[in-house]
Structure 1
Amino acid sequence: MASDAPRPEILEWYPVYQSCQRYFLNHAQHDYAVQALTALINIRLPYQCHDAPVSNWTVSFNSSAGPMNDHKPFQRHASLENCRSQSTPPWVSLIPYIQRLIITGMDKEAIMHGFFGDDWKKGIGPIHEQERCNYMFAAKSVGWAHAKHIYDISSYESVPFMNPLQDVHIDEIKSAERSWNRWLAMEDWMIGPRAPFRD
């Protein structure tokens, strides 16, 4: 569900997001403090995935491209082995880690920096804001047990505990309320020319 947070320009945002991925894969997942925290909140790091472990960001860069353009476009391939052979960046979603940090109350600024690097506010900040909003919506929509089930990744990576959203500001609550009201209008088909609110 959309929040009131401004949307970044995708082509400007994507290389910064990739820098967060690269930091997470090359540095954070090999850091003892990150490993300890992910053990506590019960989520596997990419290098711990037995079926297709990813231990680092491996890609051939054009040295003249500059730091904000040192990526190649993702391509679809028939298998993981083919994907790796094409020197493309590994695809690892950061959203499960962002979600797990949020719902366990661990999405403090220092922790987010430790996981995703110096560019985390620009690279994953918009996703972080939206996932905080989604957590509020989940809490409002369903009971505790169902909300926990939503955030369980698997029986081996179930959520060990959930905490109320941390460090909440009034503007964040108001933005979530506006988004929630728009969703309620959507449920009643109060959209388009019938919408009670205008963005």
Structure 2
Amino acid sequence: MAFNRAGGGFSFQQEQPFVDAQFDIFEWHLQYQSCVRYFLDHAQYSAPVQAVAAFVNIQLPFQRPVHPILASQPRSGGTPGGGGPSARSAAAAAAAAAAAGGTAQPTAFVTLVPYIRRLIATAFDFPAVLHGFFGDDWMTGIGPIHETERRNYLFAAKSDNWLKVKADYDMDENQTVPFLRPLQNVSEDEIVNAETTWSEWLAMQDWMLGPRAPGNVGGGGGGLRGRGINIKREED
């Protein structure tokens, strides 16, 4: 997969973890930032999102006991959580300031991955919930991460037992995952893509890399299937 930054003076060519061959990391980042802003300024203050977050036992940014994040843009004057406007007012003020123009403030850094992982592990990662958490741009903004984390959840289940998988999805500050559910709404394409990527991982365990990679053994077309290459599989 190749992509380049128009007029940016550099190019990059690299296999990406996302299936879509047209994936553009620069365009994706703009949409991802839109999801972060929506999550911080609107979603975390909505009753449905708060209910889901409480049910799956994960803190929203404004609920953090230390350094809570009230909005995507820093407030002018005062410190978050230290008196003054409420969290909702802070979010509204930040949105109004952004709409008024002027110097753009940097978006507060919050990674959305823990929320995506928790929704996947508890089977809450259906479109209505993802839209409620991350807004209208969720499909392009967090869609690639969602796809990859679903695959990671499959890999985790295949790699270890329930107790180890649960421990991996637990978080600090008593944010343990209350339950695990099998991956929901799985398509045949998703399973095939996971199988192919898992086979690539097993090939790396056998050092079948570079000139020894299955794709370079005996020529042939793309993919790991249909080449007569024996890939080591984990023991039952």
What TM bracket, shorter-length normalisation?
A: 0.7 to 0.9
1:6 and 2:24 matched? no
Structure 1 match to 2:40: 25
Structure 2 match to 1:161: 179
What is the Cα-based RMSD across aligned positions, in Å? Answer: 2.1
State the Cα deviation string for residues 68-110 of structure 1 (Å, max 9, x = none): xx96xxxxxxxxxxxxxxx421100000000000000000100
| 1:18–1:123 contact (8 Å) kept in structure 2 | yes
Aligned partner (choices 173, 176, 187) of residue 191 of structure 2: 173
- What secondary structure sits across from 1:93 in the alignment? coil
Per-residue deviation at 1:64?
7.4
Per-residue deviation at 1:12?
1.1
Higher share of residues assigned helix: 1
Structure 1 match to 2:49: 34
Q: How many aligned positions are there? A: 179
Whole-angstrom CA distance in 2 between matches of 1:155 and 1:50: 10
Per-residue deviation at 1:143?
0.3
Whole-angstrom CA distance in 2 between matches of 1:105 and 1:13: 25
User: Residues 64 and 26 from structure 1, CA distance in 2 versus in 1: closer, same or farther, beyond 3 angstroms?
Assistant: closer
Question: Kindly, what percent of the aligned residue pairs are identical?
Answer: 49
1:121 and 2:139 matched? yes
Structure 1 match to 2:110: 92
Aligned partner (choices 193, 201, 206) of residue 188 of structure 1: 206
Whole-angstrom CA distance in 2 between matches of 1:110 and 1:196: 40
Gaps of 5+ in 2: 1-15, 75-96, 216-221, 224-236
- What secondary structure sits across from 2:54 in the alignment? helix
Gaps of 5+ in 1: 72-86
Which residue identity lines up with residue 33 of structure 1 in the other structure? Answer: P
- What secondary structure sits across from 2:214 in the alignment? coil
| 1:190–1:196 contact (8 Å) kept in structure 2 | yes
Whole-angstrom CA distance in 2 between matches of 1:62 and 1:27: 15
Worse-superposed segment, 52-61 or 19-28: 52-61
Higher-RCO chain (CA-CA 8 Å, sequence separation at least 6): 1
| 1:43–1:157 contact (8 Å) kept in structure 2 | yes
1:124-143 superposed matches below 5 A: 124-143=142-161
| 1:4–1:175 contact (8 Å) kept in structure 2 | no
Divergent runs of 4+, >2 A: 59-65
Question: What TM-score, normalized by structure 1, do the two folds share?
Answer: 0.84
Question: What TM-score, normalized by structure 2, do the two folds share?
Answer: 0.71
State the Cα deviation string for residues 33-65 of structure 1 (Å, max 9, x = none): 110110000000000111110011116759779
